[in-house]
C-alpha cells in the first residue's frame, strides 16, 4: 500500500469529548485533514477547502479542532499551512479510553470499513499506540480497489478532485488506468484531455468513479517506472546530488522511502550525501528548497541551474 502519514493522537478526556460529538464522516475528515497537512508541500486554505469539500471558513474551524487534539498547525513563509511530522504526540490509550472510543464508534455506526478499521486497531492495541492512519487507509483501499477493477475490465475512470502538488490545482481527471507502482503509491494512467501518460498519487485522489465506458486509447498507453520522487519519464538520465543535515535525511526517507538506498552518511555522522539518477528535477528541487541552508547541492550543473530558474 502507498506511503501514508503515520500519526498517533494525543489522548485526554477533552479529546474524547470532542470526537464523541461528531458523526463518522466528520471524524474521518479530521484525520484526513491531519494527514493532508503532514504531507508536503504546505497548503493554502483554498486548497484544503477543495480537498475536503468544505468552505474556507470551515477549514479554520477544523484547525481549531485539531489544535485541541494536540497538533500544532503552522504557517510557512508563504502563509501556507502544515503540521510537522514527528513522534512527540505518541501517548498510549488506557483501557478506559479504549472502551470509550469503542462505544463512540459503535454509536455512529460500526458497519462501514472505516468503523471496522478503528475497532480492529483499538482491539489490537489496548495500552499501546493507536494509529489513526487505519481510518485513512480504509479510504485509500477503496480507491485502489476501484482502479484495479477498471484495469481488469478496461474501463475509463474519473479521478475526482485530484490535487496536483506541481500546479497546486484541484481538478477532475478522465483517465485510463494502466498499472500501479510497486508499492501502490500511485497509478500510471493515460489522461484523455492531455493525451499524455501520467503518474497520479493515490493519496491525492478524493474519489474514483468507474465509468461504463471502455478504454479508447490503449494503443497510446505507455508505462514508465517513476523515479524516487514519483516522476515519470522516458529516461532516468538526470543526476541529483546534495549534502544534507540529519533532519533533512530523516524527512527525505519519510517522504520518499525509495531514497533510503541512495543516502550515505559522511564520516562526521551528522551530515549525509544523497546521489541518484531521476526522471525530472522538479521533485528533488521542491525538497531541496524546503530546507534552505540545511542542504548543499553538489554535482550536476543542470540541477543547480534548475534551482536558480525555478
Show Cβ contacts of residue 99 under 8 Å, excluding neighbours closer than 6 positions. Answer: none
Q: Check: CATH 3.10.129.10 for 13-131?
A: no
Secondary structure (3-state) at 279:
coil
Of 163, 160, 162, give the one whose Cα is nearest residue 209: 160
pTM score of the predicted model: 0.49
Q: Alpha helix (H) ranges present in the chain?
A: 13-20, 24-38, 45-52, 56-68, 95-107, 113-124, 133-153, 246-255, 282-289, 301-309
Of 69, 90, 76, give the one whose Cα is nearest residue 27: 69
How many Cβ atoms are within 10 Å of 94's Cβ, its own excluded? 12
C-alpha grid cell for residue 146? 476501484
Secondary structure (3-state) at 207:
strand
* Predicted local confidence at residue 100, as pLDDT: 54
Within 13 Å, how many C-alpha atoms sit on residue 156's CB side?
Answer: 17
pLDDT 10s digits, 204-232: 888 899 999 999 999 999 877 778 887 76
> What CATH number is given for 139-220 in this structure?
2.30.30.30
- Whether 203 contacts 237, CB under 8 Å: no
How many Cβ atoms are within 10 Å of 213's Cβ, its own excluded? 12
* Predicted local confidence at residue 115, as pLDDT: 55
The domain ranges of the chain are 13-131, 139-220, 238-309
Spans in the chain with pLDDT lower than 70: 1-28, 69, 85-138, 165-166, 182-183, 232-233, 310
What's the start-to-end Cα distance of the chain, in Å?
Answer: 32
pLDDT 10s digits, 235-273: 788 999 999 999 899 888 877 877 888 999 999 878 999
C-alpha grid cell for residue 130? 493507536
| Fold entry, domain 238-309 | Alpha-Beta Plaits (3.30.70)
Rounded CA-CA distance 245/296 in Å is 9
Rounded CA-CA distance 87/76 in Å is 21
Within 13 Å, how many C-alpha atoms sit on residue 198's CB side?
Answer: 17
> Strands 238-245 and 207-214, how do they pair?
unpaired
Rounded CA-CA distance 46/55 in Å is 8
Of 140, 128, 51, 119, give the one whose Cα is nearest residue 95: 128
C-alpha grid cell for residue 113? 470499513
Measured in whole angstroms, the distance separating CA 86 from the mean position of its chain's CA atoms is 15
Of 246, 309, 237, give the one whose Cα is nearest residue 274: 246
Amino acid at each position: 500500500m502507498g506511503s501514508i502519514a503515520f500519526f498517533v493522537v494525543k489522548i485526554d478526556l477533552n479529546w474524547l469529548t470532542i470526537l464523541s460529538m461528531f458523526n463518522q464522516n466528520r471524524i474521518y475528515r479530521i484525520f484526513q485533514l491531519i494527514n493532508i497537512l503532514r504531507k508536503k508541500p504546505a497548503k493554502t486554505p483554498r486548497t484544503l477547502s477543495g480537498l475536503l469539500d468544505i468552505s474556507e471558513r470551515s477549514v479554520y474551524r477544523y484547525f481549531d479542532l485539531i489544535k485541541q487534539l494536540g497538533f500544532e498547525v503552522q504557517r510557512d513563509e508563504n502563509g501556507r499551512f502544515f503540521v510537522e511530522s514527528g513522534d512527540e504526540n505518541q501517548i498510549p490509550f488506557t483501557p478506559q479510553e479504549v472502551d470509550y472510543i469503542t462505544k463512540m464508534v459503535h454509536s455512529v455506526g460500526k458497519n462501514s470499513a472505516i468503523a471496522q478499521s478503528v475497532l480492529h486497531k483499538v482491539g489490537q492495541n489496548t495500552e499501546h499506540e493507536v494509529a489513526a492512519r487505519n481510518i485513512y487507509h480504509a479510504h485509500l483501499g477503496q480507491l485502489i480497489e476501484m482502479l484495479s477493477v477498471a484495469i481488469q475490465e478496461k474501463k475509463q475512470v474519473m479521478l475526482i478532485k485530484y490535487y496536483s502538488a506541481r500546479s497546486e490545482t484541484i481538478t477532475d481527471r478522465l483517465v485510463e488506468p494502466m498499472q500501479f507502482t510497486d508499492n501502490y503509491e500511485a497509478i500510471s494512467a493515460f489522461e484523455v484531455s492531455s493525451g499524455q501518460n501520467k503518474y497520479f498519487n493515490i493519496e491525492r485522489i478524493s474519489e474514483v468513479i468507474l465509468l461504463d465506458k471502455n478504454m479508447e486509447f490503449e494503443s497510446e498507453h505507455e508505462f514508465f517506472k517513476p523515479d524516487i520522487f514519483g516522476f515519470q519519464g522516458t529516461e532516468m538520465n538526470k543526476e541529483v546530488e546534495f549534502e544534507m543535515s540529519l533532519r533533512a535525511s530523516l524527512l527525505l526517507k519519510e517522504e520518499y522511502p525509495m531514497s533510503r538506498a541512495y543516502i550515505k552518511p559522511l564520516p562526521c555522522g551528522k551530515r549525509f550525501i544523497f546521489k541518484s539518477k531521476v526522471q525530472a528535477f522538479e521533485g528533488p528541487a521542491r525538497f531541496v528548497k524546503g530546507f534552505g541552508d540545511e542542504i548543499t547541492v553538489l554535482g550536476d550543473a543542470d540541477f543547480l541551474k534548475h534551482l536558480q530558474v525555478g
